Amino acid sequence: MNGPRTTLYRDKQNGKFMGVCSGIADYTGINVHWIRLALVISVFTPMSGLTVPGYFIAGFVLNKKPAGLYEDRAEQRYWQRVRQSPKRTAREIRARFRDIDHRLAEVENYYVSNNARLSAEIERLR
């Protein structure tokens, strides 16, 4: 699960300063404005001594987000859901495949069964 789409990056393209907040927003799927607000609020908390150094450390340690990481917005949302809850995403995919399999079985049953109307239409087309 440590592929390029499941790694935390700093997002310089959408970022303001070093791209750390934008990278966290991309990773979690939370709006970047909320991440930035949380950062500003954390500066005024008792743990503020860790906030600014932590931000700069993350800015230097995290790799830049590769260009073209996602093809479109839907793919980005999908990978954000995978990072948030891989088990839930796997369940959703299995449910979709079960639904597709069920609908395909219904279609097969319809065409394979002795359907007089379908047979008449086929004969009429010949």
Per-residue pLDDT of the chain (126 residues; tens, 9 = 90+): 456 666 677 776 666 787 788 788 877 778 888 888 888 888 888 777 777 788 888 778 877 776 667 667 777 777 777 777 778 778 888 888 999 999 988 887 777 677 777 777 877 887
Q: Which token pair is 109?
A: 């049953």
As a whole number of angstroms, the distance between CA 61 and CA 67 comes to 18
- Position 100 scores a pLDDT of 93
Residue 35 makes CB contacts below 8 A (sequence gap 6+) with 21, 22, 24, 25, 28
- Position 6 scores a pLDDT of 64
The pTM (predicted TM-score) of the whole model is 0.54
- Position 36 scores a pLDDT of 84
